[in-house]
């Protein structure tokens, strides 16, 4: 009897291990993230220190938006056996929770462990931009472009960081490289938006119209074309462009505001009043304090042309 008992105790761990491996393989093959989570949880129930299961469950939780749950699973892996991939993926989950400091720290640890984990280098550049550490962002994008000299998304991000630092020449060199590598609607849109932000309205229009001709469904172009025309005191084409934005999205309060301002400047007060009402109703459907300037504090107009918008707001509110 004693001999059989010993044999029984030897077999049980082997059976558990076999079942855990089977469940792990099933989870990896599954395309349903919720099913993945259930299968990996069963593995962990059988083998509480199965780090592969924790890592894979973290990926699946991240996919369904359970970022805190994903962070806990990656942290379990890091506690027992830290590796670059776990730090990188935990950084991604922290990034999704707007924990940019935490994400930055994890990306840096991932890169320390694997300097050629290029996705981590790119994401570190992004998060440094979010933290307004633009010099550090540019440094990371520089590293990437030495290895991937035709990566348009990295040129775009580096250009934006240069703009924030006032390095306009460097920024527009990057925008130009983007266009040379991949002359598409997005490349012209990016440069047009940058030119608009620097008050080069005619130059911005040139790029934005090129972007629209290449892709009629590049919807943000219509709004910014409207902005450029409005700021050039060209009200008829501004109205046309903002109207196109509204056709694409009837709840685009930014475009409704643009229409209200353009109609007012064109002395069409009835349409200005109607468009202004539409904008306010979309932003503030309950109508509480809708005569205060602050209800628009998250709009493009408030953030980028505050004094101009403040002056016109008073006129529109009086209609």
Q: Give the chain's domain count.
A: 3
Average pLDDT, the chain: 91
In this structure, the answer to whether residues 237 and 148 fall within a common structural domain is no
Q: What is the pLDDT of residues 224-260, one digit of tens each?
A: 999 999 999 999 999 999 999 999 999 999 999 999 9
Q: Categorize the per-residue pLDDT at 313 as very low, low, confident or very high, splitting at 50, 70 and 90.
A: confident
132: nearest Cα among 96, 157, 164, 95:
164
Q: What is the pLDDT of residues 203-225, one digit of tens each?
A: 999 999 999 999 999 999 999 99
Question: Could you tell me if 164 and 132 are in contact, meaning their C-beta atoms sit under 8 angstroms apart?
Answer: yes
In this structure, the answer to whether residues 219 and 310 fall within a common structural domain is yes
Q: What confidence score (pLDDT) does residue 14 get?
A: 44
Q: Is residue 33 scored above 60 in pLDDT?
A: yes
| Most distant CA pair in the chain, distance | 101
CA pair distance 266, 262, nearest whole angstrom: 6
| Residue recorded with tokens 């633009």 | 134
**What is the distance of C-alpha 296 from the center of its chain?**
22
φ, ψ of residue 263 to 5 degrees: the values are -65, -40
Q: Categorize the per-residue pLDDT at 289 as very low, low, confident or very high, splitting at 50, 70 and 90.
A: low
Counting Cα atoms < 13 Å in the Cβ hemisphere of 131 gives 19
DSSP conformational letter for 83: -
CA pair distance 155, 194, nearest whole angstrom: 13
Q: What confidence score (pLDDT) does residue 254 get?
A: 95
**Is 96 within a domain?**
yes
pLDDT more than 90, % of the chain: 81
Between the alpha carbon of residue 94 and those of residues 97, 100, 189, 287, the distances in Å are: 5, 7, 30, 36
| Residue recorded with tokens 């299961």 | 53
Q: What is the pLDDT of residues 147-194, one digit of tens each?
A: 999 999 999 999 999 999 999 999 999 999 999 999 999 999 999 999
In this structure, the answer to whether residues 92 and 74 fall within a common structural domain is no
Q: What confidence score (pLDDT) does residue 147 get?
A: 97
**Is 4 within a domain?**
no
Q: Is residue 40 scored above 50 in pLDDT?
A: yes
Of 136, 161, 182, the last residue of a domain is: 182
In this structure, the answer to whether residues 87 and 61 fall within a common structural domain is no
Q: What confidence score (pLDDT) does residue 10 get?
A: 41
261: nearest Cα among 221, 302, 220:
302
**Is 313 within a domain?**
yes
Owning domain of residue 22: 15-80
CA pair distance 75, 312, nearest whole angstrom: 52
What is the CATH classification number for the domain harbouring 106?
1.25.40.10
**Is 9 within a domain?**
no
CA pair distance 45, 3, nearest whole angstrom: 29
Q: What confidence score (pLDDT) does residue 293 get?
A: 74
Q: What confidence score (pLDDT) does residue 18 get?
A: 79
Quote the tokens at residue 40.
């990996």
Residue 65, SS3 per DSSP: coil
**Is 275 within a domain?**
yes
Q: What confidence score (pLDDT) does residue 50 get?
A: 94
CA pair distance 180, 168, nearest whole angstrom: 18
**Is 206 within a domain?**
no
Between the alpha carbon of residue 54 and those of residues 69, 102, 311, the distances in Å are: 10, 20, 57
pLDDT more than 70, % of the chain: 93
CA pair distance 19, 21, nearest whole angstrom: 5
CA pair distance 52, 69, nearest whole angstrom: 16
**Is 305 within a domain?**
yes
| Residue recorded with tokens 């593995």 | 43
Q: What is the pLDDT of residues 110-136, one digit of tens each?
A: 999 999 999 999 999 999 999 999 999
In this structure, the answer to whether residues 19 and 59 fall within a common structural domain is yes
Which residues 6+ apart lie within 8 Å of 99 measured at CB? none
CA pair distance 218, 237, nearest whole angstrom: 18
Mean pLDDT of 272-291: 84
CA pair distance 206, 203, nearest whole angstrom: 5
């Amino acid at each position: 009897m004693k001999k059989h008992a010993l044999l029984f105790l030897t077999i049980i761990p082997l059976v558990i291990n076999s079942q855990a491996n089977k469940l792990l393989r099933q989870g990896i093959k599954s395309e349903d993230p919720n099913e993945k989570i259930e299968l990996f949880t069963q593995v962990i129930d059988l083998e509480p220190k199965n780090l592969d299961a924790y890592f894979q469950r973290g990926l699946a939780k991240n996919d369904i938006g359970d970022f805190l749950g994903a962070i806990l699973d990656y942290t379990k892996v890091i506690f027992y056996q830290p590796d670059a991939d776990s730090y990188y993926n935990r950084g991604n989950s922290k990034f999704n929770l707007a924990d940019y400091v935490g994400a930055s720290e994890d990306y840096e640890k991932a890169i320390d462990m694997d300097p050629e984990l290029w996705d981590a280098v790119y994401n570190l550049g992004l998060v440094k931009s979010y933290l307004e550490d633009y010099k550090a962002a540019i440094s990371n994008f520089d590293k990437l472009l030495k290895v991937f000299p035709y990566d348009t998304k990295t040129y775009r991000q580096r250009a934006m960081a240069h703009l924030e630092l006032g390095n306009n020449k460097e920024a527009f060199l990057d925008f130009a490289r983007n266009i040379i590598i991949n002359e598409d609607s997005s490349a012209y849109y990016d440069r047009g938006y940058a030119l608009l932000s620097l008050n080069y309205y005619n130059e911005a229009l040139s790029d934005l119209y090129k972007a629209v001709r290449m892709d009629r469904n590049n919807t943000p172009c219509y709004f910014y074309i409207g902005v450029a025309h409005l700021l050039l005191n060209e009200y008829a084409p501004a109205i046309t462009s903002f109207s196109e934005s509204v056709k694409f999205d009837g709840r685009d309060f930014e475009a409704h505001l643009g229409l209200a301002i353009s109609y007012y400047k064109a002395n069409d007060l009835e349409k200005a009043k109607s468009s202004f009402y539409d904008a306010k109703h979309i932003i503030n459907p309950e109508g509480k304090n809708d005569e205060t300037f602050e209800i628009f504090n998250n709009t493009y107009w408030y953030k980028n042309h505050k004094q101009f918008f403040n002056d016109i707001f008073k006129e529109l509110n009086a209609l």
